[in-house]
Amino acid sequence: MICLRRTLVKVTPIWKISVKSLKIVLDRENATYFGGESITGYCKILLIDTLDVDKIRIKFFGQAKTYLETNKSRTAIECQPLFQQYFRPKDQPSILKPGWHEIPFNFQIPINIPSTFRYTFDSHIKYKIKAIFGLTIKFIEVIILTNPNTSISTLLIPFCDTRKKKIGIIRSRLVTLKCQLPRIGFTVGQFIPVMCMIENNSNKILTLKAKLRQQIFLMALSERKVCNRKVLKMIGPNIKSNSKFEQILNITLPKQLPIVYGTCQLVHINYILDIYLDIPWSINLLCRLPIILTYQQLDIESIKQFKPSSLSLTTHNKLSSFGCFGE
């Protein structure tokens, strides 16, 4: 008689599932961070078994991604890692025992990176903190706003534009619109003063209007897409027929706007201020003024005392290799 003995073999996983709960907590919950600041917080974990500290990784990283549908009946997708930082726990025992633990972390935000931005679900710029504790992984997104990759001297360059148009088929009359900026750089959350000078020699009543828009460039695999988003719109005064008009329009900027200017290979954002005359039964007369936004505190007293100058007779056409005036 043959007797068979069954042997049970206990298989132990390489990494036991030790984490029951994991949460990433920032010291400034739901806050917006700026380039150059520090992000501090801690990972709060509940262990049901011991965990080797060598199996803990905390990572801070950024990524740009673009998704384009081209005219060639195909899609172009490209990702660009922006940076990554790792934090390793210090002053911790080599083995964490079961129970609650708080693992602090500290990251320094780079300066020359693009702001958090989302155009679509597949075209965006995101920043995340990723915590890996054994087999358990947790993410949290961080909103970051940064400054353009340009010098202060560039931000202080003045700009102006002049446009003319004849209205009417028979006995056409000339309408002139001159717009002047004290500089092209402005701090987000403050205001933009635009000196508007209008000569309305027509017999029509015109309306002065302003619109700030984002001109968004998305690049992927040598393909490029340009799109526009309206940020704000302002309706100014009416201009009587056969009259001259001069006024400074103060356009208040929103407090938080994404700035992606010379800091990303896949995404670039121009801000353009359209000042135009709404002409009944005719094409509008438009001045396009390029704006570079920043979170740096620029001198506001100089623009409070802004007055028109001889620059109002000069027309500038281009400030960026991306084509500020391209549609």
| 143 within 8 A of 34, measured Cβ to Cβ | no
Verify that 172 and 218 share a domain, yes or no.
yes
Dump the DSSP string for 98-145. Answer: SEEEEEEEEEE--SS-PPPEESSSSSEEEEEEEEEETTEEEEEE-EEE
Q: Are 164 and 285 in the same domain?
A: yes
Structural domain contains residue 306: yes
Position 10 in a domain? no
Same domain, yes or no, for 300 and 157?
yes
Question: Cα–Cα distance between 157 and 185 in angstroms, integer?
Answer: 8
Tens digits of residue pLDDT in 201-226: 999 999 999 999 999 999 998 889 99
pTM as predicted: 0.82
| Same-domain check for residues 253 and 308 | yes
Half-sphere CA count of 269, side-chain side, radius 13 A: 26
Domain span at 117:
19-145
d(CA 158, CA 153): 11
Task: Indicate the pLDDT class of residue 321, thresholds 50, 70 and 90.
Answer: very low
Asked, for residue 14, whether it belongs to a domain, the answer is no
Q: Are residues 65 and 171 in the same domain?
A: no
Domain boundary (83, 112, 145) is at 145
Q: Say yes or no: 159 and 51 in one domain.
A: no
pLDDT bracket for residue 170 (50, 70, 90): confident
| Residue 256 forms part of a structural domain | yes
pLDDT per position as a tens digit, 132-155: 998 899 999 999 999 999 999 999
> Residue 12 domain-assigned?
no
**Pair 105, 193 in one domain:** no
- Asked if 129 and 103 touch (Cβ cutoff 8 Å), the reply is no
d(CA 21, CA 45): 5
In this predicted model, what pLDDT tens digit does every residue of 8-45 receive, in sequence order?
Answer: 444 445 445 788 999 999 999 888 999 999 999 999 99
Residue ending a domain, among 116, 145, 174, is 145
Same domain, 255 and 187: yes
Last residue of one domain, picked from the residues 97, 123, 145: 145
Kindly state whether residues 196 and 52 are assigned to the same domain: no
What's the number of domains the chain is made of? 2
Pair 114, 210 in one domain: no
**Same-domain check for residues 211 and 89:** no
Residues near 145 by beta carbon (within 8 Å), at least 6 away in sequence: 32, 33, 34, 35, 115, 116, 188, 256, 258, 259, 295
Question: Which CATH number is 270's domain given?
Answer: 2.60.40.640
pLDDT band at 276 (very low <50, low <70, confident <90, very high): very high
